[in-house]
């Protein structure tokens, strides 16, 4: 019954998912040179996440945290979206043109999905090109370097600006809206994420319980691969592009 509400059947065997939720992680940007966290040459092999991705680490050594994010902001300036980002932007357009809705939820703080043209996009772990002030709460765009003594443009407080990213122990952005969309989606797809960080790792269970078809696209099976009904494995630039072509053909059939 739930599936009938979530899907609109069009002709024999063809099905249009009215509502699609796609979750992306570092793997989708790996081929754009942004690096992943938990792979054998990942970011957490060079940095201790307790030092650079927790509020406590920032309080202990803000200079180290600023250096970490300044370097990644610098890397982002030269990065370009790859075939996977482009394919997802194309899919959003196709689905919208058929009266459906696609929400792209990314754990990535890079801007490669928007650079590729995705519009209905939610950065649940924040954005590298934004900062916020711990003193007055203002948040805004920031593309240059940030230092321990940088003054807030609104309240003037030195040392209160921090990257507008979600660290361990902090609440990710947009959770109410995400859960609402997961509970109503007909298709949930997880791309390039290890399935080790919650709440994102729990999305497949939410969507599955709501009756959605669930697919994992990843270099290799993730920590929660068994929670998906279907898996396709290989580099995102190939697997995602091929999967989007297959789905678009099915939608248009």
Catalytic residue ranges: 125
Among residues 75, 138, 219, 225, the one that binds ligand BJW under rule CB under 6 A: 219
Counting Cβ atoms within 10 Å, is residue 9 exposed (0-12), middle (13-18) or buried (19+)? exposed
Number of residues that bind ligand BJW (CB under 6 A): 36
Contact stretch for ligand BJW (CB under 6 A) within 5-13, 58-66, 134-142, 195-203: 195-203
Phi and psi at residue 162, in whole multiples of 5°? Answer: -140, 160
Q: Could you give the C-alpha distances from 231 to 70, 103, 180, 188, 213, in angstroms and in order?
A: 36, 20, 24, 12, 11
Nearer to ligand BJW, 182 or 251 (CB): 182
Beta-carbon count within 10 A of 240 CB:
29
Question: Nearest approach, Cβ of 208 to ligand BJW (angstroms)?
Answer: 17
Question: Nearest approach, Cβ of 97 to ligand BJW (angstroms)?
Answer: 27
Contact stretch for ligand BJW (CB under 6 A) within 5-13, 22-30, 114-122, 204-212: 22-30
The position carrying tokens 């995705």 is 118
Question: Nearest approach, Cβ of 57 to ligand BJW (angstroms)?
Answer: 11
State the Cα–Cα distance between residues 143 and 131, nearest whole angstrom. Answer: 9
State the Cα–Cα distance between residues 213 and 215, nearest whole angstrom. Answer: 7
Q: Measure the CA dihedral 220/225/231/235, to 10°.
A: -20
Nearer to ligand BJW, 15 or 238 (CB): 238
Contact stretch for ligand BJW (CB under 6 A) within 10-18, 58-66, 186-194, 224-232: 186-194
Is residue 170 involved in binding ligand BJW (CB under 6 A)?
Answer: yes
State the Cα–Cα distance between residues 204 and 227, nearest whole angstrom. Answer: 7
Question: Nearest approach, Cβ of 79 to ligand BJW (angstroms)?
Answer: 13
Question: Nearest approach, Cβ of 4 to ligand BJW (angstroms)?
Answer: 30
Is residue 168 involved in binding ligand BJW (CB under 6 A)?
Answer: yes
The SS3 call for residue 11 is coil
Q: What is the DSSP letter of 44?
A: G
Nearer to ligand BJW, 39 or 101 (CB): 39
The position carrying tokens 């979600």 is 166
Nearer to ligand BJW, 97 or 198 (CB): 198
State the Cα–Cα distance between residues 210 and 220, nearest whole angstrom. Answer: 26
Q: Which residues bind ligand BJW (CB under 6 A)?
A: 25-27, 30-31, 36-39, 42, 53, 107, 109, 125, 165-172, 175, 192-194, 196-199, 218-220, 222, 235-236
């Amino acid at each position: 019954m739930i599936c009938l509400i979530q899907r609109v059947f069009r002709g024999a065997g063809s099905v249009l998912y009215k509502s699609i939720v796609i979750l992306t992680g570092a793997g989708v940007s790996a081929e754009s040179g942004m690096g992943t966290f938990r792979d054998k040459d990942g970011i957490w092999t060079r940095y201790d996440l307790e030092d650079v991705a927790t509020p406590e680490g920032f309080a202990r050594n803000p200079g180290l945290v600023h250096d970490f994010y300044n370097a990644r902001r610098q890397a982002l300036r030269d990065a370009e979206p790859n075939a996977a980002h482009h394919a997802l932007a194309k899919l959003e357009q196709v689905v919208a043109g058929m009266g459906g809705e696609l929400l792209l939820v990314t754990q990535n703080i890079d801007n490669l999905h928007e650079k590729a043209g995705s519009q209905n996009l939610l950065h649940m772990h924040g954005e590298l090109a934004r900062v916020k002030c711990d003193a007055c709460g203002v948040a805004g765009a920031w593309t240059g370097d940030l230092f321990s003594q940088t003054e807030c443009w609104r309240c003037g407080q030195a040392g209160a600006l921090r990257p507008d990213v979600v660290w361990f122990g902090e609440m990710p952005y947009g959770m109410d809206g995400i859960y609402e969309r997961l509970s109503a989606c007909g298709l949930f797809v997880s791309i390039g994420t290890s399935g080790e960080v919650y709440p994102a790792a729990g999305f497949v269970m939410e969507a599955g319980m709501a009756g959605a078809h669930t697919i994992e696209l990843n270099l290799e099976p993730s920590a929660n691969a068994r929670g998906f009904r279907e898996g396709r494995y290989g580099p995102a630039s190939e697997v995602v592009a091929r999967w989007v072509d297959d789905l678009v053909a099915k939608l248009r059939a």
